[in-house]
A and B are shown apart, each in its own frame.
Chain A
Amino acid sequence: MSQAATHHDTHHEAHHATGITRWLTTTNHKDIGTMYLVFSLIMFFIGGSMAMIIRLELFQPGLQFVNPQFFNSMTTMHALVMIFGAVMPAWTGFANWLVPLMIGAPDMALPRLNNWSFWILPFAFTLLLGTLFMPGGAPAGGWTMYPPLVLQTGEAFPFLIFAVHFMGASSIAGAINIIATVFNMRAPGMTLMKLPLFVWTWIITAFLLIASIPVLAGAVTMLLTDKFFGTSFFNAAGGGDPVMFQHIFWFFGHPEVYILILPAFGIASAIIPTFARKPLFGYSSMVYAAASIAFLSFIVWAHHMFTVGMPLAGELFFMYATVLIAVPTGVKVFNWVATMWQGSMTFETPMLFAIAFVVLFTIGGFSGLMLGVTPVDFQYHDTYFVVAHFHYVLVTGAVYALIAGTYFWLPKWTGHMYDEKLGKLHFWLSTISVNVLFFPQHFLGLAGMPRRIPDYAVQFADWNMVSSIGGFVFGASQLLFVWGIVKCARGGEKATAQVWEGAHGLEWTVPSPAPYHTFSEPPDASTIEGGMR
């Protein structure tokens, strides 16, 4: 098998397709990884522009720029684009690039499926973004698509549903590929408990995807038949139940938030030991904690809907299960802190972003704990406090880990060192502005400002203005990120194979840039200490 693969690879390299055909037909995990990452960066800026429109309208009370319907389209599309277009494909891009390199495999297990799962995405987002130009406007019922409101969507409705189906199909295919790769293609000696944590968290994420995305597909299909085929799954007047949609949606939706954050845990667990020059503290407890979080994610969904009026027993169960997540999450944070303790730290850009990730994600964790306490959630629910919470865990959580990971592996991908000064400038501008952007939103929520409103009472004016200023600076700062990446791809100081003094793991044993084909002969991983190092 391995011989056949080797032979095929050499053959393939000889007849390397060029131009656009190369990218359309490629089955190479590095090419596909690059396409995923570039795609997600484009989506990050499209979703980000929508956020800029939102913050511009909220800069002061009154309506100055957009009408309320378009504002609602912006909040809805911002969420869909960022979640399904930016963060999820970015993680799949990282997995494509890194999983084979980290486990010593020549490529992904299912290379043609890999090509297909990427190329579904441009179609999905053409459908979704195309709705902006349709009669009735883009979807405006929130990314959560609650009926009956979502059924009031105009011509965009079926496009929304099919776009979600496409994104889901792409994610499931990607997840199957990663599981097949890790379970079948590890180099000899690379046992499961030696896998780098990024690989571990991605396997767990892949199982979450396979378990939860079909549930979303079912939910949106029921919406489709309710709208066009006369069913009444969610129509109270026809004997259906609008709350059932919320239960089904969040049965997908809560695992989904861990799909977005678990690989981030893996990235932090790779970067912090590298720059602390000290082994990761509590490797096995990190694996068990990630698995516990994944398990719990399936039994906490109703905390997103405490105010729908559940029986007392249900509210108590979901409260207890939710706050329980604080335990394994706490273990992870404590482990990262213990890894830094008595280390020998340096603060290159990836480390700066990783430390900021730990601190700011923890702030998001605290507000998450507060939100999990049902009686108090009756106040917090659907206010800006929630907006602050999930942006702390998704922007300074997931996105920060993505940025940290990009700077960390960019030298391996391009063969050049990135501009450290530019990276640090990007870090400081982002980190100051992101807090100016999101921290005041805690105050707004506590003071009583609901989320998803285009205009607000005047007592909320000051903090909204502060938040918007933070937003504009944060948005602009991300241009430095793109500049840094382009600069690094074009040239710069040559990177060594190991790149970082404290770097350990198989991906650092291949040259930089990583050759088009790596590990055609499986390495002997028994000498590698793996995640334990």
Chain B
Amino acid sequence: MTTSGIRRSARLFASALALTPLIAEAGWDQLNLTRGVTPYSETVYDLHMMILWVCVVTGIGVFGAIFYSILKFRKSKGAVAAHWHENTLVEFLWTAVPAVILVVMAIPATKALVMMEDVSKSDMTIKVTGYQWRWRYDYIGEGIHMYSGLARTSDVARQLNSGIDPKSVENYLLEVDNELVLPVGRKIRFLTTASDVIHAWWVPALGWKRDAIPGYINESWALIKEPGVYRGQCAELCGKDHGFMPVVVRALPEAEYKVWVEKTKAEQAAKTAGLAQPATAAVAQAN
């Protein structure tokens, strides 16, 4: 190798290194699927990694053979072409082996799907209704309901040429006015539907998305294992503000959740009462 060649390789290597901090800074969670916080999301993550590795290994084999051929069987190196163009055994093997790998992969995939579709024995039910462009949540049996739309801070910043730097807005586009508060440790059944066009309710940490379709009520479930705030977005194109209807789930420990339910119930009851007697409410507010 000539000196200039080495220098060129070194420069190439240096520029490759320069990319590494970008990847490191981005972090694993910006490169790969989340593991999530439900039994289902963990199953999905494991399944995802398994298929990914199957693809990576197959890719190394196939691409390895291609690059080996490119280097080895080139005319400029004096390679002379062989004339064979069939081999029954090889052709049988590369039909049968992938088929067997697929069957092996299908077993855990089937189990995961059976798990996801089993919504029986749930501890509570949340009805999710999609609107252009916000969500409505009904806590079935609790009498609590709320609308949840994009937080004001994000809504101002996301206007065309708003002049506000999105990076200065906390949880830009992933913040709502009313969060969906849920308990940890309970099997929660979700019923999704919509009132206008099709939407899709998605929180990656729960491990799934489900379409919200007018005229349909879809069932799904989640059992959140850890308290925390989990963010997601509408995942089905639903018109101009499709990108601006986030989902925020706040998972609370059972005791805190119960307190929240009682408090919210009381608030909503007061509000309903207030609506029934607007004059009194106005006076009470003035005082």
Interface of A toward B, CB cutoff 8 Å: 61-64, 66-69, 72, 140-142, 146, 148-149, 152, 236-237, 240-243, 276-283, 285, 307-309, 312, 315-316, 319-320, 323-324, 326-327, 330-331, 333-334, 337-347, 355, 358-359, 362-363, 366-367, 369-370, 373-376, 378-379, 381-383, 443, 446-448, 450, 452-463, 532
In the assembly, what is the distance between CA of A381 and CA of B207, in Å? 11
Chain A hits for B76, CB < 8 A: 346
Taking the complex as formed, is B82 at the interface, i.e. its CB lies under 8 A from any CB of chain A? yes
Q: Closest approach, in angstroms, between the C-beta of A390 and any C-beta of chain B? A: 15
In the assembly, what is the distance between CA of A325 and CA of B19, in Å? 36
Q: Are A378 and B233 in contact (CB under 8 A)?
A: no
Q: Are B73 and A340 in contact (CB under 8 A)?
A: yes
In the assembly, what is the distance between CA of A240 and CA of B216, in Å? 11
Given A282-B91, A326-B102, A378-B209, A369:B166 Cβ within 8 A: no
Known: A64-B160, A330-B94. 16 other contacts (CB 8 A): A67-B240, A140-B240, A148-B197, A149-B197, A236-B214, A276-B81, A319-B106, A320-B106, A330-B95, A340-B66, A345-B70, A347-B70, A369-B51, A379-B48, A443-B32, A455-B243
CB nearest to A371 among chain B residues:
B51
One of A323, A446, A450 near B235 (C-beta < 8 A) = A450
Given A236-B216, A285-B91, A446-B32, A378:B235 Cβ within 8 A: no
Taking the complex as formed, is B58 at the interface, i.e. its CB lies under 8 A from any CB of chain A? yes
Given A148-B214, A307-B209, A331:B161 Cβ within 8 A: no
Chain B hits for A236, CB < 8 A: 213-216
Chain A hits for B287, CB < 8 A: none
Q: Are A379 and B209 in contact (CB under 8 A)?
A: yes
Q: Can you list 23 A-B contacts (CB < 8 A)?
A: A63-B159, A68-B243, A243-B216, A281-B84, A281-B86, A308-B211, A309-B211, A309-B216, A319-B109, A323-B102, A323-B105, A331-B91, A344-B74, A346-B74, A367-B55, A374-B113, A375-B112, A378-B209, A379-B44, A443-B30, A454-B243, A459-B30, A462-B25
Chain B hits for A461, CB < 8 A: 167
Given A312-B114, A376-B44, A378-B116, A152:B197 Cβ within 8 A: yes
One of A142, A277, A278, A355 near B70 (C-beta < 8 A) = A355
CB nearest to A373 among chain B residues:
B109
Taking the complex as formed, is B123 at the interface, i.e. its CB lies under 8 A from any CB of chain A? no
Given A342-B82, A379-B44, A382-B236, A337:B62 Cβ within 8 A: yes
Binds A, one of B136-144, B169-177, B257-265: B169-177
Q: Are A278 and B83 in contact (CB under 8 A)?
A: yes
Chain A hits for B94, CB < 8 A: 330-331, 334
Chain B hits for A279, CB < 8 A: 83, 85
Given A312-B114, A378-B209, A278:B66 Cβ within 8 A: no
Interface of B toward A, CB cutoff 8 Å: 22, 25-26, 29-34, 41, 43-44, 47-48, 51-52, 55, 58-59, 62-63, 65-66, 69-70, 73-76, 79-87, 90-91, 94-95, 98-99, 102, 105-106, 109-110, 112-114, 116-117, 157-162, 164-167, 171-174, 192, 196-198, 200, 202, 204, 207-211, 213-216, 218-219, 232-244
Give the total number of A-B pairs whose CB atoms are below 8 A apart. 285
Q: Are A341 and B51 in contact (CB under 8 A)?
A: no
